[in-house]
């Protein structure tokens, strides 16, 4: 089994910064893609940023130039540095990881979600 544990959410004023972390643990053979989605009430979950095992990144247009995704493969951890936060960034942020376990094939796992609230 694989667990993803997130940390770093909270309340911040517009223009401020937060850093989210997500660590994968368990019977891991290899971690492939990792990333972050976010969701607000009544809306579909949206991909915010992703990073491959090789370090290639992609971002939704609304966060380009403000958010930065990175990973520490030795720690199976992905980070999301969020700068110049806006009220519209308010959401529950979920990390995901595509993980190949020791006993099974690759599949995606999700964190429990962390609330990010940006006040105006």
pLDDT digits (tens, 9 = 90+) for 36-54: 999 999 999 999 999 999 9
Sequential DSSP letters for 40-70: -TTS--EEEEEE-TT--EEE-GGGTTTEEEE
Distance CA 77, CA 28 (A): 12
Residue 33's pLDDT is 97
Quickly list H helices, 1-120: none
Total residue length of the chain: 120
Distance CA 109, CA 120 (A): 33
Residue 104's pLDDT is 83
How many Cβ atoms from other residues are within 10 Å of residue 75's Cβ?
A: 11
Residue 44's pLDDT is 95
């Amino acid at each position: 089994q694989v667990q993803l544990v997130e940390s770093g959410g909270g309340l911040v004023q517009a223009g401020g910064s937060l850093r989210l972390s997500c660590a994968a643990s368990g019977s891991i053979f290899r971690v492939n893609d990792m990333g972050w989605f976010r969701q607000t009430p009544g809306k579909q979950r949206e991909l915010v940023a992703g990073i491959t095992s090789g370090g290639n990144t992609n971002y939704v247009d609304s966060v380009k130039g403000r958010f930065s995704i990175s990973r520490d493969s030795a720690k199976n951890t992905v980070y999301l540095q969020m700068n110049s936060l806006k009220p519209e960034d308010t959401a529950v942020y979920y990390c995901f990881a595509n993980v190949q376990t020791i006993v099974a094939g690759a599949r995606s796992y999700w964190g429990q979600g962390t609330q990010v609230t940006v006040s105006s």
